[in-house]
């Protein structure tokens, strides 16, 4: 296929040959050059909210998408366009990758780390299982997942027609990448989800190593308006809460995500028990998906911090036992289980069972909770409805944000270091984005786009 730009170049040459007046030629040529250098960004999803991240990057020769997510709590989501040459997946969270099965016909190249590929594949298979269980007629099956796997390029540098793509470690979760796109003489840097601080198992993003002065920085703004407390203090506070409930011989529910947060939490508790920071207690994880992902973690140690890499099987825990169902729990215990928002699975079951007793506690470590999620209702209103029954929550519900997202301080640090000409704030509620926009307005021009907005770079 001949790119449109080649036709425009040919046209400009014919015009040059037929023109004797240089000034007229220059005006026409400049206009054509401008046209040739067109690089448009289209916000398909994830603007002024968290969920369904997808940004189109379009030139005359190439059309790609940065992330291809789903809005988890949306019943009839609008389908994203499918006519992309390539799709870059920043990391395996479904709000960045969950619509991929819709590309199984169009079969674009999918770019992302090997860890992102392996985990995304598992999450997509799990999504199909959940949909089938719900009895919904789901148009996708395991064959479509296989197509996605086959079209995946797990490399850090990729060349496409008139475009080059490079990936940099983002922190956040294992395998997460920051994407650098170069095309038409312009540079775009897309953070996906990222964090600068190190966690127990993962190094934060080294922002000094990111390309400088891009024409456009597209960044998440989940915590655009928030400065988090020192992480070590938060971890101390978390252990305090565990000790308090252990003293009362209560049960502790820690709803978490099967990918990364579950392994990070197990490692944190396992290590603390080994070191005598918290007393020995029964600790369980319940999630087959988490177990499978833990296997990937043990086999791909290169994604983690040096001290983790030095351990033979870093995610084989001494004090944490894997269970297949909640009936196997020997109380009192600490249980780390899915779903992270407490809206399904073992989390919802145990939230209902343990939530009514004041000796128990529920510890939420995610910063964001969907407003209508049982966990959020348990925390805010001390009650929620389950199977048409009102559950009164007596257990302590504590939110300790051991999040993998950059907070306002880290976001400003990024903008300060990278010095972009323009910054687009996405993946954050409007108030968060607006607060951050004020903080970085002197460093960069800031845009908080709306859905479907087109921005010319």
Q: How many CB atoms lie within 10 A of CB 250?
A: 20
* CA dist list (Å): 125 to 94, 128, 129, 136, 145: 12, 5, 6, 15, 7
Stretch touching Zn ion by CB under 5 A, among 87-95, 145-153, 228-236, 265-273: 87-95
Nearest residue (CB) to Zn ion, 180 versus 261: 261
Of 56-64, 91-99, 295-303, 337-345, the segment contacting Zn ion by CB under 5 A is: 91-99
User: Of 5 and 403, which CB lies nearer to Zn ion in the complex structure?
Assistant: 403
Residue 325 Cβ, how far from Zn ion at the closest point, in Å? 28
Per-residue x/- marks for Zn ion, 140-179, CB under 5 A?
Answer: ----------------------------------------
Estimate the share of the chain in helix, then strand, then coil, as percent rounded to the nearest 5: 35, 20, 45
**Quick one: 163 or 189, whose CB is closer to Zn ion?**
189
Nearest distance in Å: CB 385, Zn ion: 29
- Which alpha helices (H) appear in 326-444, and where do they start and end? 345-354, 374-380, 408-418, 430-440
CA angle 361, 255, 195 (to 5 degrees): 115
Which residue is associated with the tokens 């395991």?
142
Residue 95 vs 184, nearer CB to Zn ion? 95
Tokens describing residue 243:
């000790």
Strand order in the sheet with 282-286: 320-323, 282-286, 333-337, 252-255, 361-364, 396-399
Least distance to Zn ion, CB of residue 403, Å: 10
Site for Zn ion (CB under 5 A): which residue of 67, 184, 193, 220?
193
Phi, psi of 152 (to 5 degrees): -90, 130
End-to-end Cα distance, the chain: 25
Q: Residue 87 to residues 63, 163, 178, 221: CA-CA distances in angstroms?
A: 9, 13, 14, 22
> Least Å distance between CB 91 and Zn ion?
6
> In 112-176, which ranges are continuous DSSP H helix?
114-133, 142-150
Would you say 194 or 315 has its CB closer to Zn ion?
194
Beta pairing class for 177-183 and 186-190: antiparallel
403 vs 408, which CB is nearer to Zn ion?
403
Least separation, in Å, of the C-beta of 257 and Zn ion?
9
- Residues numbered 393 to 452 that lie near Zn ion (CB under 5 A) are none
Contact stretch for Zn ion (CB under 5 A) within 100-108, 191-199, 209-217, 422-430: 191-199
Restricting to residues 286-325, name those near Zn ion by CB under 5 A: none
Query: At closest approach, how far in Å is the CB of 118 from Zn ion?
Result: 16
How far is residue 125's CA from residue 123's CA, in Å, rounded to a whole number? 5
How near is the Cβ of 437 to Zn ion at its closest, in Å?
A: 22
CB of 46 closer than 8 Å to CB of 67 = yes
Contact region with Zn ion (CB under 5 A), list: 58-66, 88-96, 259-267, 424-432? 88-96
Smallest distance, Zn ion to C-beta of residue 90, A: 8
Residue 77 or 367: the one with the smaller Cβ distance to Zn ion is 367
* CB 93 to Zn ion: min, Å: 4
* Total of residues contacting Zn ion (CB under 5 A): 2
Residue 93 binds to Zn ion (criterion: CB under 5 A):
yes
Q: Which residues bind Zn ion (CB under 5 A)?
A: 93, 193
């Amino acid at each position: 296929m001949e790119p449109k730009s080649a036709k425009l170049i040919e046209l400009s040459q014919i015009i040059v040959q037929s023109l004797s007046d240089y000034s007229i030629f220059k005006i026409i040529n400049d206009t054509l050059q401008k046209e040739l250098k067109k690089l448009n960004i289209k916000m398909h999803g994830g603007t002024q909210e968290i969920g369904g991240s997808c940004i189109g990057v379009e030139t005359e020769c190439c059309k790609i998408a940065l992330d291809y997510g789903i809005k988890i709590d949306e019943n009839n989501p609008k389908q994203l366009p499918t006519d992309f040459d390539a799709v870059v997946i920043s990391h395996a969270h479904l709000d960045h990758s969950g619509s991929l099965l819709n590309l199984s016909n169009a079969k674009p190249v999918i770019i992302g780390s090997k860890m992102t590929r392996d985990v995304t594949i598992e999450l997509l298979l799990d999504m199909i299982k959940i949909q089938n269980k719900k009895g919904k007629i789901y148009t996708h099956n395991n064959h479509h997942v296989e197509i996605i796997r086959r079209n995946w390029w797990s490399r850090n540098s990729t060349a496409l027609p008139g475009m080059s793509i490079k990936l940099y470690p983002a922190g956040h979760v294992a395998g997460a990448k920051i994407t650098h796109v170069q095309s038409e003489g312009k540079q775009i840097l897309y953070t996906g989800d990222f964090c600068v601080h190190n966690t127990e198992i993962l190094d934060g993003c080294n922002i000094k190593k990111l390309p400088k002065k891009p024409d456009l920085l597209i960044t998440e703004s989940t915590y655009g308006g928030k400065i988090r407390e020192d992480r070590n203090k938060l971890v101390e506070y978390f252990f305090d809460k565990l000790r308090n409930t252990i003293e009362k011989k209560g049960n502790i529910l820690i709803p978490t995500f099967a990918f990364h947060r579950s392994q990070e939490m197990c490692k944190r508790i396992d290590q603390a028990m080994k070191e005598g920071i918290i007393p020995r207690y029964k600790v369980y994880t319940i999630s087959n998906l988490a177990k499978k992902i833990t296997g990937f973690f043990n086999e791909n140690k290169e994604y983690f911090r040096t001290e983790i890499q030095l351990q033979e099987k870093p995610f084989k825990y001494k004090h944490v036992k894997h269970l297949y169902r909640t009936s196997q729990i020997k109380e009192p215990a600490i249980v780390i289980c899915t779903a992270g928002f407490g809206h399904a699975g073992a989390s919802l079951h145990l939230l209902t069972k343990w939530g009514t007793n004041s000796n128990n506690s529920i510890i939420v470590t995610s910063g964001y909770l969907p407003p209508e999620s049982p966990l959020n209702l348990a925390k805010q209103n001390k009650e929620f409805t389950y199977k048409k029954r009102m559950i009164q929550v007596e257990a302590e519900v504590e939110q300790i944000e051991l999040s993998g997202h950059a907070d306002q301080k880290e976001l400003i640090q990024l903008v300060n270091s990278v010095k972009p000409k323009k910054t687009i704030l996405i993946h954050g509620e409007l108030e968060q984005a607006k607060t951050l926009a004020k903080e970085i307005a002197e460093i960069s021009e800031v845009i908080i786009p709306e859905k479907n907005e087109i921005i010319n770079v």
